[in-house]
């Protein structure tokens, strides 16, 4: 157990690319970064700047430096950057009309791109264009009532890389998935003109979709997305045929309570699911989807 010294509920905890640092965010408006190397837990930074509960944090790929994005109830997205050992606010995006619920960095191959899903139903995409400038694209009304989660597809290049001469930037197809209060999961794809278009609508949940997680594509022949919902169900979506882009859902498990989070292990062979029962279940979706292990956090005495 990590003592976070947060004064209110923690909404998200994310480990960085190298697994050495843990960022947590809380209702108490703060974002904290811990060094968790060698089982330790040293508070490195306490980032204050949000004026409301901070819902989610996301680490950018380290090739861009130490960058952390956080989104909050105060309608803002803040991008923090570490320079010379100190963390500072490097950019503030205030383009949403309501709480921003989710942030996710695109695969590093695309450059620094951040997707933000908000309760105002919009998803905005921030692209770093250099010299502290961020270009904003907004998908309005992506989810009616609100967007709860965004997750990028791993970087996959259409066709073989061989076709592209070295040195030339390969032509990536950028995709991400979003889940919202309209019980839908939507897949978005960047068109050639740079506009984002709804590519697919995945329908299976009967209540708010709380989280979506696109599996890292390590070794997997298919695209896979895990989704979980307020209705207690966890679905695994697979797309076997990339050309027709048809996705089929498989019910992994039905819980009796809300499922808040799904998270893939880095090799995408295990899915961790956390739900209202305050436990984490790990599943191996590829072998019958049986629950592997259940983790229960130690409860504080007296509660």
Partner 1 sequence: MGKKRTTSGEGRERQRLPARRFRTTSPAALRADSVDGGSLLAPLLGLTDRAFSDCPDLADGAMEKMSRVTTALGGSVLTGRTMHCHLDAPANAISVCRDAAQVVVAGRSIFKIYAIEEEQFVEKLNLRVGRKPSLNLSCADVVWHQMDENLLATAATNGVVVTWNLGRPSRNKQDQLFTEHKRTVNKVCFHPTEAHVLLSGSQDGFMKCFDLRRKDSVSTFSGEATEAGPREWAMAGCVPILPVLSCRILRLHHSFAHGPMQDAESTANDARESWGCPLYPLGLCSGPQAGQSESVRDVQFSIRDYFTFASTFENGNVQLWDIRRPDRCERMFTAHNGPVFCCDWHPEDRGWLATGGRDKMVKVWDMTTHRAKEMHCVQTIASVARVKWRPECRHHLATCSMMVDHNIYVWDVRRPFVPAAMFEEHRDVTTGIAWRHPHDPSFLLSGSKDSSLCQHLFRDASQPVERANPEGLCYGLFGDLAFAAKESLVAAESGRKPYTGDRRHPIFFKRKLDPAEPFAGLASSALSVFETEPGGGGMRWFVDTAERYALAGRPLAELCDHNAKVARELGRNQVAQTWTMLRIIYCSPGLVPTANLNHSVGKGGSCGLPLMNSFNLKDMAPGLGSETRLDRSKGDARSDTVLLDSSATLITNEDNEETEGSDVPADYLLGDVEGEEDELYLLDPEHAHPEDPECVLPQEAFPLRHEIVDTPPGPEHLQDKADSPHVSGSEADVASLAPVDSSFSLLSVSHALYDSRLPPDFFGVLVRDMLHFYAEQGDVQMAVSVLIVLGERVRKDIDEQTQEHWYTSYIDLLQRFRLWNVSNEVVKLSTSRAVSCLNQASTTLHVNCSHCKRPMSSRGWVCDRCHRCASMCAVCHHVVKGLFVWCQGCSHGGHLQHIMKWLEGSSHCPAGCGHLCEYS
Of residues 45-64, those binding partner 1 (CB under 8 A):
51-53, 55-56
> Closest CB to partner 1 among 66 and 101?
101
- Give min distance, CB of 222 to partner 1, in A: 9
Pick one of 35, 36, 111, 289: the residue that binds partner 1 (CB under 8 A).
36
Helix (H, G, I), strand (E, B) or coil at 29: coil
Least separation, in Å, of the C-beta of 224 and partner 1? 11
Q: Locate 75 and state its tokens.
A: 């309608």
Q: Which is nearer to partner 1, 251 or 294 (CB)?
A: 294
Among positions 136, 173, 183, 217, the unique one binding partner 1 when judged by CB under 8 A:
217
CA 177/CA 233 separation, integer angstroms: 18
The correct pick among 64, 94, 141, 164 for binding partner 1 (CB under 8 A) is: 164
Query: Residues 247 to 276: which contact partner 1 by CB under 8 A?
Result: 257-258, 260-270, 272-276
Given the complex with partner 1, which of 137 and 284 has the nearer CB atom?
A: 284
* Contact criterion met (CB below 8 Å) for 105 and 121: no
2 and 36 Cβ atoms separated by less than 8 Å? yes
Query: CA nearest 156: which of 60, 238, 221, 244?
Result: 221
- Using a 10 angstrom Cβ sphere, with 0-12 exposed, 13-18 middle and 19 or more buried, the burial of residue 137 is middle
Asked if 144 touches partner 1 (CB under 8 A), the answer is: no
Residue 231 sits in the site that holds partner 1 (CB under 8 A): yes
| 176-205 binders of partner 1 (CB under 8 A) | none
Q: Are 240 and 252 in contact (CB under 8 A)?
A: no
For the window 95-134, what string marks contact with partner 1 as x by the rule CB under 8 A? Answer: ----x-x-----------------x---------------
Q: Which residue has the tokens 């019980």?
A: 183
Residue 40 is a binding residue for partner 1 (CB under 8 A) = no
Distance from C-alpha of 136 to C-alpha of 121, rounded to nearest angstrom: 16
Identify which of 82, 97, 106 has the alpha carbon closest to the alpha carbon of residue 173: 106
* 70-99 binders of partner 1 (CB under 8 A): 73-74, 99
Least gap, CB of 247 to partner 1 (angstroms) = 19
């Amino acid at each position: 157990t990590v003592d976070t010294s947060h004064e209110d509920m923690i909404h998200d905890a994310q480990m960085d690319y190298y697994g050495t640092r843990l960022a947590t965010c809380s209702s108490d408006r703060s974002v904290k970064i811990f060094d968790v190397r060698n089982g330790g837990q040293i508070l490195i930074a306490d980032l204050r700047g949000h004026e409301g509960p901070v819902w989610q944090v996301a680490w950018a790929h380290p090739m861009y430096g130490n960058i952390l994005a956080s989104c909050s109830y105060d309608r803002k997205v803040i991008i923090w950057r570490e320079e010379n050992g100190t963390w500072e606010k490097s950019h503030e995006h205030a383009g949403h009309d309501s709480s921003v619920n989710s942030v996710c960095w695109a695969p590093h191959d695309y450059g620094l791109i951040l997707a933000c899903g908000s309760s105002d139903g919009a998803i905005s995409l921030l692209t770093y264009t250099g010299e502290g400038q961020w270009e904003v694209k907004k998908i309005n009304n992506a989810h009616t009532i609100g967007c709860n989660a965004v997750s990028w597809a791993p970087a996959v290049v259409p066709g073989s890389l061989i076709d592209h001469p070295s040195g030339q930037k390969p032509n990536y197809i950028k995709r991400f998935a979003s889940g919202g209060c309209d019980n839908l999961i939507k897949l978005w794809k960047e068109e050639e003109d740079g506009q984002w278009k709804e590519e697919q609508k995945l329908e299976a949940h009967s209540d708010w979709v709380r989280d979506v997680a696109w599996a890292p594509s390590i070794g997997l022949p298919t695209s896979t997305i895990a989704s979980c919902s307020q209705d207690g169900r966890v679905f695994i979506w697979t797309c076997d045929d990339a050309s027709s882009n048809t996705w089929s859902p498989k019910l992994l498990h039905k819980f009796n309570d809300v499922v808040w989070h799904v998270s893939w292990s880095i090799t995408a062979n295990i899915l961790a699911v956390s739900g209202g029962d305050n436990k984490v279940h790990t599943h191996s979706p590829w072998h019958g989807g049986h629950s592997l292990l259940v983790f229960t956090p130690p409860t504080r005495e007296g509660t």
